[in-house]
Amino acid sequence: MLKRIVGIGLLSFFVFMTHAQINAFDKGFDAYQRGKYDNAVDFYTVFIEDHESPNAFFNRGLAYFQLKQYQEAIQDFSEVLKLEPNDFEALYNRALAHFESGDVASAVNDYKKVLDADPNYDKAFTGLGLVYLQEEEYDSAILYFNKAITLNTDSQVNYYNRGIAHHALDAYEQAESDYSAAIPLDESAIAPYISRADLYHEMGNYDLSIVDYTEAIFLSAESPMLYYNRGISYYDFRSFEKAIGDFLEVLRLDTLHIDARWYLALCYKTLGNEAEAIKYYDEVESLNPEYAYLWAIDKNQLRLKQFIRENWIFAIGFIVLLLVSLFFVRKLVKNSNTTEID
């Protein structure tokens, strides 16, 4: 969204500048394009020292924004507006900088000024939607995203964030519709897949949740969070072997992930593998003796089941011996009672 069109409109502007000034501007532009924002700031500063150029202030403002130096960006965009009061692009970017700096009121004020200048500027509606989404005023956010989508039906940002607002209001069908509309607009974007997967999990559609987490993993194969979330979906879908595979992958990527260990203990317990369940239970307890869910597994009961499973022949023999003993004890007692009567 932070973009300034420079080029043909500047050619006649450059005629009256020194070669060094032109060079500084060009170098600043080139540095920005290559992501060297510190260098861009330096070059534009050199240029600005000798000439008050709104484009130089604007582009330096963009560089400051990328460096997260929002106050400096706000100052530069304000300088643009002093030189060109009707430059609503500068006003829009100043609104972005206000928003990122946490000054919501100023951001809203600038976005509304942009819309006063151009009522069809869809990015300003998007900006207002994001402001109200952050403020958890979801109904207002949805209204602004609606307006933005009316003006620009191809913006993934609007569908995705409107989906988040609907999701927060538990409007699951609308949220699903928005996430689904967002995905084909940019299939390389991971966030809509994750959010729709989370939504499906909340709805109990674990199979669909698994599909979306799998798509997200394809886009980010080294994310422990994604494997963990898919593992939870597999667990709730009662596909325990696959859940184990995901939780083990989590531990490969994050060796201290305690919740993955806990779910491994639960999976192995459910599958009747008491030895592995006890192993991961002990690891959880070692990492956090106060872990909130330790009560959910009775380790002594697991040990008893493990002993019986591993020594089932001995256990059966013991039970048979016990039953035989009880039989003879009962018989002796019966004979003793008969003798006393005689």
Q: How many Å apart are CA 127 and CA 116, to the nearest integer?
A: 14
Among candidate residues 139, 272, 252, 243, the one with its CA nearest the CA of residue 262 = 243
Residue 29's nearest CA partner among 52, 2, 1, 63 is: 63
Find the distance separating the first CA and the last CA of the chain, reported in whole Å: 107
Containing 272, the helix (H) or strand (E) segment is none
At 146, list the tokens: 């609606």
Rg, C-alpha atoms of the chain: 33
DSSP string, 214-242: HHHHHH-TT-HHHHHHHHHHHHHTT-HHH
Instruction: Kindly report the number of other CB atoms within 10 A of residue 206's CB atom.
Output: 19
In this predicted structure, what is the pLDDT of residue 307? 63
| 8 A C-beta contact, residue 136 and residue 124 | no
- CB burial of residue 101 (10 Å; 0-12, 13-18, 19+): middle
Say which residues have a Cβ less than 8 Å from residue 266's Cβ, sequence separation at least 6.
Answer: 235, 277, 296, 297
Which candidate, 33, 34, 29, places its Cα nearest to that of 58?
Answer: 29
Q: What pLDDT does residue 32 have? A: 93
Contact yes or no for 47/18 (Cβ under 8 A): no
**Which residues of the chain are modeled with pLDDT < 50?**
1-18, 342
Alpha-carbon distance of 47 to 186, in angstroms, equals 38
What is the distance between the alpha carbons of residues 208 and 199, in angstroms, rounded to a whole number? Answer: 10
Residue with token string 């199979």? 207
**Helix 224-236 crosses helix 191-203 at what angle (to 10 degrees)?**
20
- Residue 328's pLDDT is what? 66
CA angle 193, 238, 222 (to 5 degrees): 40
CA 48 to chain centre: 40
Q: Say what the pLDDT of residue 333 is.
A: 60
- pLDDT reported for residue 312: 56
Does residue 169 sit in helix, strand or coil?
A: coil
- Residue 215's identity, in one-letter code, is E
Inter-helix orientation angle 122-134/138-151, to 10°: 160
* pLDDT for res 339: 54
Q: For residue range 136-164, list pLDDT tens digits in order.
A: 999 999 999 999 999 999 999 999 999 99
